[in-house]
Structure 1
Amino acid sequence: MSSGRYRKGSRLKPLPQDHLPMHLDVLYRDEFLAVVDKPAGLMVHDSKLARGESDFAADRLREQFGQKIFLVHRLDRATSGCLLLAFDRDSASALGKTLMSREVVKDYLAVCRGWPAETAFTVDHPLDGGPGKPEKKPAITHFERLATAELDEPSSGFPTSRYALLRAQPETGRFRQIRRHLKHLSHHLIGDTSHGDGRHNRIFRMRGVHRMLLHARRLAFTHPHDGRQCVVEAPVDAQFARSLEMFGWPLQ
């Protein structure tokens, strides 16, 4: 049954988010699929990157919904926001095909070091599949610069450090694509301990921001059973909101 939060062509209003509850916030649910708000720091499923961990979003969600779930896509451990899942194989397969055909629109918010020169730009830079997968495949991410700001912290011979708020829209889904594309541009993602800039990460930690600043803000896709256009949004958490407030940027 529908949760009652969906109307054809409408923008779904997310539920309030508490601080890392055992149950993940459900942003949208019907009998075929759901979109949940994954908190930063929680791995989606067991993998070689788990390092012996036993707490995964997939396990929580199976218990939370009381039934099988099928993950349609993934989010990195340190990334928060919209996670799409299905309750049956047919729905998962249909959504997966839509995802592969690049018909699912995924919008992320990211805070990076520096000010990208252009307001809108695209990175077309092939990436490998991560550990054990050396073959490079096409990887495309569209970016939009939403806001810029400076902190009174010396950087690279300049008296201040510059930062930008970006909207990122990956067209493909490669391993850590947004993070690695930002590194390719030398506009490292703040809080990224694998591909980021340690000095800038420390600047944010000193100001109380202790997470990677990448958030899956919005998902837009066609419902696999009735053709409706679903648009689901996830609110930023307290840590991400703190970084926006630090620069006087509006809460997204």
Structure 2
Amino acid sequence: MLEILYQDELLVAVNKPSGLLVHRSMIDRHATEFAMQILRDQLGQHVFPLHRLDRPTSGVLLFALNSDTARSMAVQFEQQTVQKTYQAIVRGYGPEQGVLDYPLKEQLDKIVDKKARQDKDAQDAVTEYLRLKTAEEPYPVGRYSTARFSLMQLHPKTGRKHQLRRHMAHLRHPIVGDTTHGDGKQNRFMREQYGLHTLALCCTNMTFNQPVSGEKISVNASLPEDFRAVCQQLGWE
């Protein structure tokens, strides 16, 4: 069962664990569990996913309970009035705060997107970031004599594929556990030293307007246990 973080007559938000696909996809034809199907069976009714979270990303995942609500909420996402907050552990001492406005080329899957245009222009992509904590551990990793980490708070202002992972990699502070855009030596060190086998990226808050009442709703998700354990080992409350 999925942890339900918020529910009313129109919407339901769950805490998606790392490793779970939102819905059935050709990207992984061997997967047998999907958040959409689990929640449908849990509630006993159809649900409509309103956005995506990468498979390795955890945190707030929002669904509509009918198609009219799905269409209404789609407008909020398109107008970028839905606010999302993520926390991530990254390599090194990340920048204190700022806004990265760095367009991203659309990442196409060889199977799913084989008929899509391969020459699209880069799309606007904007991320606000804030460094919350830093830590330095006395272990050599790669060419570095010590291991440095930062806890970052990230606010994506656009919704491009792998945006946060690609933007942090562009800043040369890749997210720990990112096997596609990250640092392999750092990832291996985190597995061996801290037992972290997942991506250290979690959507910890989502704020939106209830589509009928207009009330501002704020939904929070706790960090996954392994993410939280690493924070504790690094001395972060």
- TM-score bin (small chain): over 0.9
Pairing partner for 1:35 from 13, 26, 29: 13
Aligned to 1:232: 219
Q: Quick check: 1:218 aligned with 2:205?
A: yes
Q: Quick check: 1:143 aligned with 2:129?
A: yes
User: 161-170 or 134-143: which moved more?
Assistant: 134-143
Where do 5+ consecutive residues of structure 1 fail to align? 1-22
Aligned to 1:175: 161
CA distance in 1 between counterparts of 2:34 and 2:3 reads 15
Aligned to 2:234: 247
Partner of 2:26, secondary structure, is coil
Aligned to 1:127: 104
Pairing partner for 1:71 from 32, 49, 53: 49
CA distance in 2 between counterparts of 1:49 and 1:153 reads 36
Aligned to 2:90: 112
Between the two proteins, what is the percent identity of the paired residues? 39
Partner of 2:13, secondary structure, is strand
CA contact (8 A) 2:141 2:189 kept: no
Query: What's the offset of the Cα at 1:30?
Result: 0.7
Query: What's the offset of the Cα at 1:121?
Result: 1.1
CA RMSD of the aligned region, Å? 1.2
Q: Deviations over 1:101-157 (max 9, x none)?
A: 11011000000001123x211111111232246422101111000000011122464
One-letter code of the match for 1:31? E
Aligned to 1:208: 195
Pairing partner for 1:52 from 30, 45, 50: 30
Q: How has the CA–CA distance of structure 1 residues 158 and 129 changed in structure 2, closer, same or farther, with 3 Å as cutoff? A: closer
Q: Deviations over 1:50-90 (max 9, x none)?
A: 24222111111111111111100010111111001100111
One-letter code of the match for 1:59? Q
CA distance in 2 between counterparts of 1:158 and 1:99 reads 41
One-letter code of the match for 1:128? K
CA distance in 2 between counterparts of 1:129 and 1:33 reads 29
How many corresponding residue pairs? 227
Q: Deviations over 1:173-213 (max 9, x none)?
A: 00010001111111011001111101100111012111110
Partner of 1:108, secondary structure, is strand
Aligned to 2:174: 188
CA contact (8 A) 1:189 1:213 kept: yes
Partner of 1:49, secondary structure, is helix
CA contact (8 A) 2:129 2:152 kept: yes
One-letter code of the match for 2:105? D
Where do 5+ consecutive residues of structure 2 fail to align? none
Query: Given the two structures, how large is their TM-score scaled by the length of structure 2?
Result: 0.92
CA contact (8 A) 1:128 1:174 kept: no
Pairing partner for 2:79 from 101, 104, 111: 101
